[in-house]
Each structure stands twice: as C-alpha cells, then as structure tokens.
Amino acid sequence: MKSNPLVSEWQSTFQCPAPVGAHASLLKQAIGWHNQAKRLGGLTAKEQKILLGNSGLARTSVAKVSTGSHLIRVWQGETHQVTVLEVGYVYAGRQWRSLSAIAKFITGTPWSGPVFFGIKK
C-alpha cells in the first residue's frame, strides 16, 4: 500500500491519525495554520475572544485541554479515546466539532461533552 505524504505530515504534526475521509485541502490548511501559529505565535487573546463570540475563556468552567491531549472515558465497559485538535476532536477515526456530539454518539442521549469526559471544573 502506498503511503500518502500528506497523511504522514498530519500524523507528524498533530501526533494522531489524520481524520478519515478529510479532503486534502483541509489537511493542508490545518497543517499550514499549525506551522504558522508555531512560528508566529497563533491568535492573540483578543482574536480568540472574538472567534469565540465574545464569550471569553475566563467565564467558562471547562478546563483548557492542550492540543494533542487524549481524553479517555469508560462507558458501559468500553473505553473511548478522543484526541484534542486545535479545532475540534478526533474520535473513532472521524473529526468532530464538539465533545457533546461525541458524548451523544457514544451514549445515544444528549450529554454535556465536558461533563461526560470529566474536564468541567
């Protein structure tokens, strides 16, 4: 089987498997943004606040989880592992926007993702 250099670059950059089915353009943009942020420092606190809808990080009760972290939860005897990306999460070979969507997928019922994975303070 032929190795895809873009997938290899993703794995090297984010220390996790590339999202299954992700378009090459998405992988390129994410890798490029990550490398640029490393060199130039990423978004300022003000820019992050604007992107978060002025909600601000200080008012949230959810712990900050570093990119590349693995969240592990045992649910009904099965272990579930989520990898934290700069934007979103990887679970079961797919990229997800929120922990709550993953928690709902696992349990079949609405959950607060941060509560389900134990990161809510």
Q: Are 71 and 77 in contact (CB under 8 A)?
A: no
pTM for the whole thing? 0.50
In the block, tokens 């969507």 appear at: 101
**CB crowding 78-112: b at 16 or more within 10 Å, else e:** eebebbbbeebbbbeeebbeebbbbbeebeeeebe
Q: Where in the chain are the domains? A: 5-51, 70-116
Give pLDDT tens digits for 52-101: 775 544 444 566 788 898 998 998 888 999 999 989 999 999 999 999 99
Q: What is the mean pLDDT of the chain?
A: 83
